[in-house]
Amino acid sequence: EKAAEIMGGLTTVVNAAGVLKGGAMGNVDLDNYHYNMTCNTQSPFEIMVHAIPFLKKQRKELSPSIVNVSSVNGKQAFAACVSYCMSKAAL
């Protein structure tokens, strides 16, 4: 809300942030999974939920957009960071 107010609206959202808490299958725990999934999938989802009402207010010629930046690890998994790779594939 504050960003849209300060900038006079919202035309684009770029979800480009992420975290990597490594751990191989067999050594990774549920806390690792929740950390990676919350930061890398839930956070962008929540940002989009809050941004969409502001994007819908924009004129169509401004092409309001959402860009989700993932990672090559979403397609090419690495054993030492299983939950991170899962989260990037989900995004």
With 90 as the cut, is the pLDDT of residue 1 above it? no
Q: What is the pLDDT of residues 27-43, one digit of tens each?
A: 999 999 999 999 999 99
Q: What is the pLDDT of residues 39-91, one digit of tens each?
A: 999 999 999 999 999 999 988 888 899 999 999 999 998 889 999 999 999 99
pLDDT at 59: 85
**Spatial contact of 73 and 88, defined as CB atoms under 8 Å apart:** yes
pLDDT at 3: 84
pLDDT at 40: 96
